[in-house]
C-alpha cells in the first residue's frame, strides 16, 4: 500500500514538473498574444532588455523544472553518478540565468510592489539555495547538498503550484491582479515549509540510524 502511494506521488511529481516545464514553449507557438504578454503595455513589450530577460527566464526555468525532479530518484542517482553530475550542472546553470532574469522581470511584473516583492524574494531564494547546493556538492558534503537541493527544487516547483492556485484564486477573488498579488507569495512560501519538513525528517532518520 505504501509503495503504491509513494509511486502515485512520484508520478504526479514527475508529471507536473515535465508538463509545466514544457509550458513556456506555448509562448513560441502562440506568439505575442499569449499569457502575460497579453497584459503588458507596448512600451514594455518593445523593450529589448526586458524581452531578453523574459525569454531567458521562461526557457531556462522550464528546462530546470523539466529535469530537476530526476535528481531526487535515489536508484538513478546511485546507478549513474556521472549522469547525476551532468544533469546537476545543467540545472545549476539554468537556475543561475533563469533566476537572475526572473528577479529582473519581477521588478516590472503585473500586480505592482506586492507581486514584485513576492516574485523577487522567490528568485533570490531560488538562486541562493541552488548556489549553496552547488557549493556543498563541490565540497563533497552530500548531506548538506541534498538538503539545499530540496529547498532549491521547492522554489523551482513554485512554477507548478502557481499554475494550480492562480485559476482558483482568480475565481475566489474575482480578478487577475488581486489573485496575482496573492499567488506571488502563496506559490512558494508553503513549498519552502514543506521542504523544511522534508529536511527535518531526513535529519531525524539519520539520527535514529546512528543510535545504538
Question: Which of these ranges, 121-129, 142-150, 167-175, 189-197, lies near ligand HEM under the rule CB under 6 A?
Answer: 121-129
The half-sphere exposure of 116 on its side-chain side, counting CA atoms within 13 A, is 8
Choosing from 53, 102, 147, 148, the residue that interacts with ligand HEM (CB under 6 A) is: 102
**Burial class of residue 196 (count of CB atoms within 10 Å of its CB; 0-12, 13-18, 19+):** middle
105 near ligand HEM, rule: CB under 6 A: yes
68 near ligand HEM, rule: CB under 6 A: no
How many C-beta atoms surround the C-beta of residue 119 within 10 A? 25
Question: Which of these ranges, 9-17, 72-80, 115-123, 196-204, lies near ligand HEM under the rule CB under 6 A?
Answer: 115-123
Choosing from 53, 69, 106, 154, the residue that interacts with ligand HEM (CB under 6 A) is: 106
Report d(CA 66, CA 16) in Å as an integer: 9
Question: Which of these ranges, 6-14, 56-64, 143-151, 198-206, lies near ligand HEM under the rule CB under 6 A?
Answer: 56-64
Max CA pair span of the chain = 67
Choosing from 58, 149, 179, 186, the residue that interacts with ligand HEM (CB under 6 A) is: 58
147 near ligand HEM, rule: CB under 6 A: no
Interhelix angle 142-156/189-210, rounded to 10 degrees, is 160
Close Cβ partners of 60 (under 8 Å, ≥ 6 residues apart) = 94, 95, 97, 98, 101
* Cell reading at 206: 539519520
The length of the chain in residues reads 212
Nearer to ligand HEM, 159 or 169 (CB): 159
- Size of residue set near ligand HEM by CB under 6 A: 27
Nearer to ligand HEM, 109 or 136 (CB): 109
User: What's the closest the beta carbon of residue 82 comes to ligand HEM, in angstroms?
Assistant: 25
126 near ligand HEM, rule: CB under 6 A: yes
Amino acid at each position: 500500500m505504501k509503495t503504491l502511494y509513494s509511486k502515485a506521488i512520484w508520478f504526479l511529481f514527475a508529471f507536473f514538473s515535465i508538463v509545466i516545464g514544457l509550458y513556456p514553449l506555448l509562448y513560441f507557438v502562440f506568439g505575442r498574444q499569449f499569457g502575460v504578454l497579453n497584459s503588458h503595455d507596448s512600451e514594455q513589450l518593445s523593450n529589448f532588455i526586458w524581452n531578453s530577460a523574459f525569454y531567458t527566464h521562461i526557457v531556462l526555468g522550464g528546462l530546470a523544472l523539466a529535469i530537476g525532479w530526476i535528481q531526487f530518484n535515489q536508484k538513478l542517482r546511485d546507478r549513474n553518478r556521472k549522469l547525476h553530475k551532468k544533469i546537476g550542472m545543467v540545472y545549476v546553470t539554468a537556475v543561475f540565468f533563469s533566476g537572475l532574469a526572473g528577479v529582473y522581470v519581477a521588478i516590472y511584473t503585473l500586480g505592482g510592489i506586492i507581486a514584485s516583492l513576492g516574485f523577487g524574494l522567490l528568485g533570490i531564494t531560488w538562486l541562493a539555495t541552488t548556489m549553496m547546493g552547488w557549493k556543498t556538492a563541490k565540497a563533497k558534503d552530500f548531506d548538506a547538498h541534498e538538503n539545499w537541493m530540496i529547498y532549491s527544487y521547492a522554489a523551482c516547483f513554485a512554477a507548478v503550484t502557481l499554475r494550480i492556485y492562480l485559476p482558483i484564486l482568480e475565481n475566489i477573488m474575482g480578478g487577475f491582479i488581486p489573485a496575482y498579488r496573492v499567488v506571488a507569495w502563496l506559490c512558494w512560501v508553503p513549498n519552502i515549509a514543506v521542504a523544511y519538513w522534508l529536511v527535518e525528517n531526513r535529519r531525524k532518520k539519520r539520527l535514529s540510524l546512528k543510535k545504538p
